[in-house]
Amino acid sequence: MAETGPLGGRLLVMYYRTHHDGGRYRSPLALTARHTGLTDLVVGTVRLDTGGVVSLNSALPGAPGPAPMWVDLAALREQGVRVLALLGGRRSFARLDHGFRTNYPPLKAFLRHYRLDGLDLRVPEPMSAGVTERLVDRLRADFGADFVISFAPTAAELSGGGTPSALYYDRLYWSRGDEVDRFHVRMNGGGRDRTAAYERIVARGVIPPGKLVFSAPTSLSGSDDETLAGDELKTAVAGLLRRCPGFGGVAGWAYWEYVDALADPTDEPWRWAQEMGAVLGLGAGRARWR
């Protein structure tokens, strides 16, 4: 199992999927330069395409466009930030399901080539538990105990209730829970009920809170008045820290989208992470929220 974050295992995770905008490269380096306390950066979205091609946001990872990104990601790793890849797309998992021997080796080579620290799995519905169990087994065997294996389910998928998705994750945890490091629980929708949904998952007692990371959107674009945001989100997370011993941490979806949603962007995409880091007791602003 991979090590968790500092201060009792709290994690500050940021998804990073907007790498370019109109030809302008969007670097993630400010996340450490601004002392946010970031522990993990998840780069997405990686997809498995035909012919053994691994694509990143529909572009070949080795193409000239993303080359500066890989240099910056290596610099983040040197500063102690774990860099994970996000594997998504229905076709990616379908290819693994129907041709694991053909499609897993290119993924393995991609992870090795870029020296990534883990893989975050955004599994589409419905999906056979067998293929993800096999993937977890191979990742652990090939990359060792320090490699991070995480999943990105919705809150509803971890809440029980007998739905196919709920049964899938229950089975996955009972069969491979020791090998799965964490779940980045997507709290999409539900407004101010998000924290209650997280606490209901903890109360089920299936997955310990240390493996449950509260994942929230950084962008307010298209949201309504019920969306948890700003100071309200910080207060809610502080409450979870008090009520849920061993709270796993916070994930933001996604870097740069915080700026894109502002009426008057100030090019401070690190701000969301910095403020969440302060709540968690990480980074330069921790004293304000302890």
The CATH number assigned to the domain holding 57 equals 3.20.20.80
Mean pLDDT for the chain?
85
Alpha helix positions (H), 177-256: 194-204, 230-243
- 250 and 13 in contact (C-beta within 8 Å)? yes
Q: State the pLDDT at residue 67.
A: 81
What is the arithmetic mean of pLDDT over 264-271? 69
Tell me the residue type at 150: S
The answer to the question of residue 250 being in a domain is yes
**The two structure tokens encoding residue 115:** 């020296």
* Sequence-separated (6 or more) residues with CB below 8 Å from residue 84: 40, 41, 42, 43, 116, 117, 118, 119, 120, 148, 150
Tokens of residue 75, six digits? 């610099």
pLDDT bucket at 144, cuts 50 / 70 / 90:
very high
Residue 288 confidence (pLDDT) above 50:
no
Residue 4 in this model has a pLDDT that exceeds 70: no
pLDDT of residue 5: 56
Q: pLDDT per residue over 80-92, tens digit each?
A: 999 999 999 888 9
SS (H, E, C) 138-154: HHHHHHCCCCEEEECCE
Whether 154 maps to a domain, the answer reads: yes
Is the pLDDT reported for residue 181 higher than 90?
yes
In a domain, 123, yes or no: yes
Report the number of distinct structural domains present in the chain.
1
> Does any domain span residue 58?
yes
Q: Are 211 and 169 in contact (CB under 8 A)?
A: no
Residue 226 pLDDT greater than 50, yes or no: no
Residues 6+ apart with CB under 8 A from 207: 158, 173, 177, 183, 201
pLDDT of residue 84: 98
Close Cβ partners of 141 (under 8 Å, ≥ 6 residues apart): none
Residues forming a β-bridge with 83: 41
Residue 246 scores a pLDDT above 60: yes
With a pLDDT cut of 90, the percent of the chain lying above it is 56
Domain of residue 89 covers 6-288
pLDDT at 59: 72
Is 1 inside a domain boundary? no
Let me know if residue 63 belongs to a domain. Answer: yes
Evaluate whether residue 179 is within a structural domain.
Answer: yes
Res. 229: pLDDT tops 70: no
The string of pLDDT tens digits covering residues 146-160 is: 999 999 999 999 988
Q: What DSSP state is assigned to residue 159?
A: S
Q: Is residue 48 part of a domain?
A: yes
Neighbour-count burial of 238, counting CB atoms closer than 10 A to its CB (0-12 exposed, 13-18 middle, 19+ buried): middle
Residue 263: the pLDDT is 45
Residue 53 has pLDDT above 60, yes or no: yes
pLDDT at 23: 74
Residue with tokens 């538990």: 129
pLDDT band at 162 (very low <50, low <70, confident <90, very high): confident
- Residues 46 and 85 sit within 8 Å (Cβ to Cβ): yes
Model confidence at 22, pLDDT cuts 50, 70, 90, reads confident
**pLDDT (average), residues 269-279:** 91
Residue 220 or 46, more confident: 46
Q: Is the pLDDT confidence value at 28 over 90?
A: yes
